[in-house]
Amino acid sequence: MVELLLKKRANVNCRLDSVRHSSLMPLHIACGCLAPTVVDIARLLLEYGADVNAESLANNKEYYSLIDPLVLDLIKTIEVPQNGRTPLHIACTRPRSEDTLNLVRLLLGHQANPNAICNGQTPLTLAIVFGNEPLVDLLLQYDQTDPSVVLGFGNGNALCMALSTFYETSWNYSKRIQLIERLIAKNPQVLYPVRFGPKNLLGSCVDYAYYMFFADTRIAQSPYHSLTNQERTIFNQRKELLTYIAKRFREEVTKHDGFLRLSPSTIDGSSSTRFNSQEFRYCGTCGRSIGVRLNICRRCQKVSFCSKTCLENGWNTFHRYECKQSAQRPQTTAKAKNLMNTDNTLLKDALKNVTRPNENNRLPPLSKILRQNRLKKRIKSASLEGIELSWNYTYNAPENYSFN
Ligand SMILES: [Zn+2]
Ligand SMILES: [Zn+2]
């Protein structure tokens, strides 16, 4: 039937009714169709000249439910530039199946853009959100796919989506670690600081992970003994993930010199003026930069720490070695040389020398920001697999244009 219509010169790129079908084109509809012939139909449309990167009109609110609720409140009040969704977006929200993979392969083979952004989502991030592992693999195999694309709408980038507590039920812990590693391996730029949250602050993926952790107040702020067994498991895994991502962040950024040097556009594009220097600073141990007070190690002038605990832990695990090597101003007096002999005195020295470099860097603690936001608006509780979480998302409506 599709072939017959196309032979009779049906317009393959016509737009449907804007109200009922949000101005989609036939290829969009084909990609959302769950019929077994979907790949053949899509191939036929493409052969007859369907635009593989056609966007639906930008006035729809698709994927809004995947936006951080605090950011969504702001978006509602301001004018935000929007893009529509492409056939590849729709294909990536399909259920996990061989047809889905074949369809995505077909679209990518016809130069579909895997980095197209629609309301804070790319095809890759949609595959992550829906926990479609084979699809994520397929997309990452393509050279053009870039996980470091900045998504906007408070979503950070693909790595942030992988770290978000919203989608933790889509990936078990070990799969999530594998996903994070694959994203970093595909493009280490995915670790570059991004903007997120209602204040649009510039932070690392570690900051995003902490932000998400504290957003679920039930798990993050209740005393451990009051949590159920299931909640304790979630709490422990989230803590483990925070430690893991902080370690990986540090490992990767220290590999590449100057990796975190910020471009002027990155600094300018915000209401925040906390970055006076060009170098993005973070705590060497826990990896955070937002909501903490960073103190630079005076000895080497290179690594910052957010607290005495982080300094002590960092010192004992890695900084005692690198600080000795990278100290810019070695002390030459005999007394100082004696001091250098033992690590314990070095640590004391480092503790003593830690300074507060810039008072402008001070921000209210994240918990305080969150408390204020909670006062402004109480977010309704939602239950997730029987667990009462104080903040969660629901998005259960992948596009389905099957008419059966
Ligand atoms: Zn720290
Ligand atoms: Zn140092």
- Most confident region among 156-165, 272-281, 318-327, 393-402 by mean pLDDT: 156-165
Q: What is the mean pLDDT of residues 203-227?
A: 88
Other Cβ atoms less than 10 A from the Cβ of 21: the count is 14
Q: What is the pLDDT of residue 281?
A: 85
**What's the CA-to-centroid distance between 355 and ligand 2, angstroms?**
12
Which element (helix H / strand E) includes 85? none
Residue closest to 108 by CA, chosen among 141, 85, 62, 150: 141
Which element (helix H / strand E) includes 384? strand 382-384
State yes or no: pLDDT of 244 exceeds 50: yes
- pLDDT band for 361, please (50, 70, 90 cuts): very low
| Nearest ligand (C-alpha, residue 329) | 2
- Per the listing, tokens 């770290």 go with 163
Q: What percent of the chain has pLDDT over 70?
A: 69
Q: What is the mean pLDDT of residues 287-307?
A: 86
- pLDDT band for 267, please (50, 70, 90 cuts): low
DSSP labels, 290-340: SSS--EE-TTTSS-EESSHHHHHHHIIIIIHHHHHHH-SS---SHHHHHHT
- Are 27 and 42 in contact by the 8 Å Cβ rule? The answer is yes
Q: What is the mean pLDDT of residues 141-162?
A: 87
**What's the CA-to-centroid distance between 226 and ligand 1, angstroms?**
27
**What's the CA-to-centroid distance between 367 and ligand 2, angstroms?**
29
**What's the CA-to-centroid distance between 159 and ligand 1, angstroms?**
21
**What's the CA-to-centroid distance between 308 and ligand 1, angstroms?**
8
Residue type at 205? C
Least confident of 53-67, 96-110, 120-134, 374-388: 374-388
State yes or no: pLDDT of 214 exceeds 70: yes
| Nearest ligand (C-alpha, residue 249) | 1
**What's the CA-to-centroid distance between 245 and ligand 2, angstroms?**
22
| Nearest ligand (C-alpha, residue 243) | 1
**What's the CA-to-centroid distance between 3 and ligand 2, angstroms?**
69
> Where do runs of H (alpha helix) occur along 83-228?
87-91, 98-109, 123-129, 133-141, 158-163, 173-186, 205-215, 217-221
Residues with CB under 5 A from ligand 1 (ion): 283, 285-286, 306, 310
Strand partners, 295: 305
Contacts of 353 (CB under 8 A, 6+ apart): 297, 298, 299
**What's the CA-to-centroid distance between 342 and ligand 1, angstroms?**
24
**What's the CA-to-centroid distance between 312 and ligand 1, angstroms?**
10
The class level of CATH for 2-260+364-389 reads mainly alpha
**What's the CA-to-centroid distance between 283 and ligand 2, angstroms?**
12
- pLDDT band for 330, please (50, 70, 90 cuts): very low
Sequence spans of domains, the chain = 2-260+364-389, 261-363
Between CA 390 and CA 171 the distance in angstroms is 20
- Are 140 and 178 in contact by the 8 Å Cβ rule? The answer is no
Q: What is the mean pLDDT of residues 267-271?
A: 47
| Nearest ligand (C-alpha, residue 290) | 1
**What's the CA-to-centroid distance between 112 and ligand 2, angstroms?**
48
**Distances, alpha carbon 66 to alpha carbons 53, 115, 268, 398, in Å:** 22, 17, 27, 12
Between CA 314 and CA 283 the distance in angstroms is 9
Q: pLDDT, tens digit, for every residue of 378-394? A: 433 333 333 333 333 33
Residue closest to 307 by CA, chosen among 323, 320, 293: 293
Q: What is the pLDDT of residue 179?
A: 93
| Nearest ligand (C-alpha, residue 295) | 1
Between CA 230 and CA 235 the distance in angstroms is 9
| Nearest ligand (C-alpha, residue 283) | 1
Between CA 231 and CA 235 the distance in angstroms is 6
**What's the CA-to-centroid distance between 207 and ligand 1, angstroms?**
11
State yes or no: pLDDT of 26 exceeds 50: yes
Q: What is the mean pLDDT of residues 29-49?
A: 84
Residue closest to 313 by CA, chosen among 287, 275, 331: 287
